[in-house]
Structure 1
Amino acid sequence: MDSVLLHEQFDFVSAIHSFVSAAGHGSRHSSHAASSSGDLNRAGALHCSRARYRRRPAPLQEAPHLDPYSHYRSSYSPVDTPQKLSKHRTRVQESSHGDRSQPDPRLFVGSMDKGMRVLELFNEHDSALSIGDIAANTGMGRSAAQRFVYTLHWLGYLNKDSESKKYFPALKLLGLVRGIHRHHPQRELAYPLLERLARETRETVSWVELDGDEVVVLLNVPGAHVTTINLPVGSRFPALTSSSGQVLLSQAPQAQLLKMLDALPPEVRARFGSRSRAAILAVFRKAAEEGHSFTEKNFGDDGVSVSVPVTDFSGRPIAALNVSTVRSRFDIAQVRELILPRLKSAAREASI
C-alpha cells in the first residue's frame, strides 16, 4: 500500500514539472526546474510519510471513568443533584429494591428525576404553583425549575393560568392513570363491586394497594351520609398502621415488618400506643389468620376502618378492599356483624 501511495505522489510531481516546463521556462531554467522537482519530490515523500502515519493510528486507550453527574454538579447547587432524592422516593426505593439509599449512577437519569419532582409537588399542594414555589419546594434553582415547567407545559402535562401565571396539572395526566388501570384488569373489573358494596352499606368503599411502606387509594366510592370518610384517589397512609396495610403485609417476613417498624416516624409509631414489638407483629399474624383487620382513629377519634385482602391466582394479597365509617353509626362489633360479611363476599368476587 505504501509503494502505491509513493507512486501516485511521484506521478503528481511529474505532472507539475511538465506544466512548469510547458509554461515557457525553457531549457535555461532546467536547473531551476530540477531543483523545484527535487523540492517537490521531498515534499511528496514527506506527504507520503504523513499518509503512512495517518494510516497507522495509535492504539485506543481506555477512557478514564467519567462522572455521569459532573454536568449537574457544575451547573446546579448540591441540593439539585440526583443524590438528593425526596424522602418519600427513598423510602419506597429501599422497600421495593432492597437496602439501597442511592440509585445506580450508570442507569439513573437525573433530569427525569427533577421532572418527576415537579409533578409530585402538585400531589402535595392543593393550589396552583408559581415558578418560585416550584423552585423553593424542589431545591432547584429558579432557572432550572423554569425549564422543567416550560417543558411539562409544552408537552401538555401542566396548564398555566393566564392571570396569575401559576401552573396546575393538566387533564393529559389522566391518560397515565387510565394506562395504570388498563394494565391491571382485576382492579378495573372490581369497580362495580365497590359501587354495590357502597350502596349496601352507605359507607365509603376503597380499593387500596401497597406502595413501598405506604398504601395508596386507587379506587374509591364515597359514602352516602353527610358525615363520611373522605378518601380521594391518590390518598396515602402509612402501611403498618392502616387496616389495608396490615392485610397486605400479613404474609410479609418478620424481618421486613421489623425494619419498617423501626423506620416509622415517632408520631406514626405512637398510633400503636404502648404495644411492644412482639405485640405489633401479632397484629399481622392475626390479620393473616382471620383474613381481615380493624383500625380506629386513623381518620380522627370517630373513625373505624376494616379491610380484607384481594388475592391473585396464587393466593397472594395484591390489594385490599376497605370500608371506612364512623363510630357514631357503627362500632367495631357492628362493623364485624353487619359490614364485614359483605366486604369479604365482595373481596372473594374480586379475587382471581
Structure 2
Amino acid sequence: MKDQPSQEVADALFNQSLEKGLAVLRAFDARRRTMTLAEVAEATAITKSSAQRMIYTLEALGYVKKHATTRRYQLTPKVMEIGYNYLEADTLVDVANPFLAELATTTGETTNMTEPYETQMVYVARFVGHQFIPIHMPIGSRIPMYCTGSGRAYLSTLAPADARALLQSGPLTARTPHTRTNVDDIMALLATARERGYACNNEELFLGDMTIAAPIISNQGAAVAAVHVVTPTSRWTLEEVEKKIGPLVLECARSISNSIRTLT
C-alpha cells in the first residue's frame, strides 16, 4: 500500500490562498448578492488586503465582476461551470435521469434526486411535474437531512449510532410548527423508514409541502443518493401519498440502484 503523507507534510501542502479564494466565492449568496471589498473581507473573516488580492484574481479569471456604477462585486455565470462539471462527471445523474423522468410522468408531480453532503442533501437532478408546486428548489439547492424525506431516507440506511451522530452534529431548527427537532423522535422515524424502505416529510421544511423518498444504494451497500417526490398538501394527504406514490418511489430507487451496480 502506498504510504500516506504525514500530518506535517499534509499541512505543508495545504494552500491557504486557494482556501481564501474559495471562501470568497462561497460568501456570495441570497443574502449577499453583491458586496463591497470591505464586506467581502468581513464575510470571509480575512484581511482587507487578502480580500483585495482574492477579488482581483477572481475578477481577472472571470468569476466575479464589479458593477460600473455601484462598484459592488457580484458573481458571474462562469461560477456555474464548476457545478456543471460536477454534474457532467457524475454518472449517477445520467443513469437516474430516465427513471426520474418516468416517475414524474407517472405521478404528475415533481421528482428529484439529492446526494448527501455533511448534514445536508444537495439537489443534483429535478424533473418538474405538470402540476403546480409552490416551492422552487433548483439544482444545487441544499436541504437539511433531519427534517426532509430524502435526508431521512439516507439516514435510515446508516447504522443507528452513525445516524444519531449526524443528527447531533448540527442544530435542529424548527422550520415550521410541524418540524421534529427531538433526536429520539427522529430516530424513531428513521426506524420506521428502515422497515418500509421509504421516508416522509409532512410540512416540516415548508408549510403545504410533503415529500416521500427512498434511498439509492450502491453495490457496496451504501446509500449514495435519494429519490423524492414533492406532494403538496393541497392535492394529497399523507395516507394517499404513502399508498399511491410510495411503491412508485421505491421502484424508481431500486431501478436506479440496480443500474448503477452494473456500472461498477
**Larger RCO (alpha carbons 8 Å, 6+ apart):** 2
Distance 1:216 1:324, change over 3 A: same
Report the CA distance between 1:268 and its aligned residue.
Answer: 4.6
**Per-residue displacement from partner, 1:280-317 (whole Å, max 9, x unpaired)?**
32322222221100111234332111111112223321
- Whether 2:129 is the aligned partner of 1:261: answer no
User: How much has 1:216 moved relative to structure 2?
Assistant: 1.2
Q: Distance in 1 between matches of 2:189 and 2:172?
A: 19
The partner residue of 1:272 within 159, 180, 199 is 180
> Unaligned stretches of 5+ in structure 1?
1-103
Is 1:309 the counterpart of 2:215? The answer is: yes
Question: Could you tell me which of 140, 164, 186 is aligned with 1:234?
Answer: 140
- Aligned residue in 1 for 2:193: 287
Aligned mate of 1:182, from 88, 92, 103: 88
CA distance in 2, matches of 1:208, 1:266: 20
Per-residue CA distance 1:225-264 (angstroms, 9 max, x = gap): 3443321222222212221111112232232222233333
- Structure 1 residue 167, shift from structure 2 partner: 2.5
The alignment's C-alpha RMSD in Å is 2.4
In structure 2, relative to structure 1, the CA distance for the partners of 1:276 and 1:299 (3 Å cut) is closer
1:321 to 2:230 alignment: no
**In 1, distance between residues paired with 2:133 and 2:183?**
35
Q: Is the 8 A contact 2:156 2:163 kept in 1?
A: no
Whether contact under 8 Å (1:308, 1:347) holds in the other structure is yes
Structure 1 residue runs of 4+, over 4 Å off?
A: none
Percent of pairs with identical residues: 28
C-alpha change, 1:204 and 1:108, in structure 2 (3 Å) is same
Instruction: Say which is worse superposed, 213-222 or 327-336, in terms of deviation.
Output: 213-222
Q: Could you say if the C-alpha distance between residues 182 and 276 of structure 1 is closer, same or farther in structure 2, counting changes exceeding 3 Å?
A: closer
- AA aligned to 1:328 is S
Give the number of equivalent residue pairs: 247
Within 1, Cα distance between the matches of 2:142 and 2:204?
Answer: 12
State the distance in 1 between where 2:126 and 2:38 align. 34
Structure of larger gyration radius: 1
Show the 5 A alignment for 1:331-350: 331-350=237-256
Q: Note if contact 1:204-1:228 (Cα within 8 Å) is conserved in structure 2.
A: no
Q: Give the secondary-structure state (helix, strand or coil) at the position aligned to 1:272.
A: coil
List alignment gaps of at least 5 residues for structure 2.
1-9
Relative to its length, the structure with more helix (as a share) is 1
Instruction: Please give the TM-score of this superposition, normalised by the length of structure 1.
Output: 0.64
Alpha carbons of structure 1 residues 165 and 191: separation in structure 2 relative to 1, 3 Å = farther
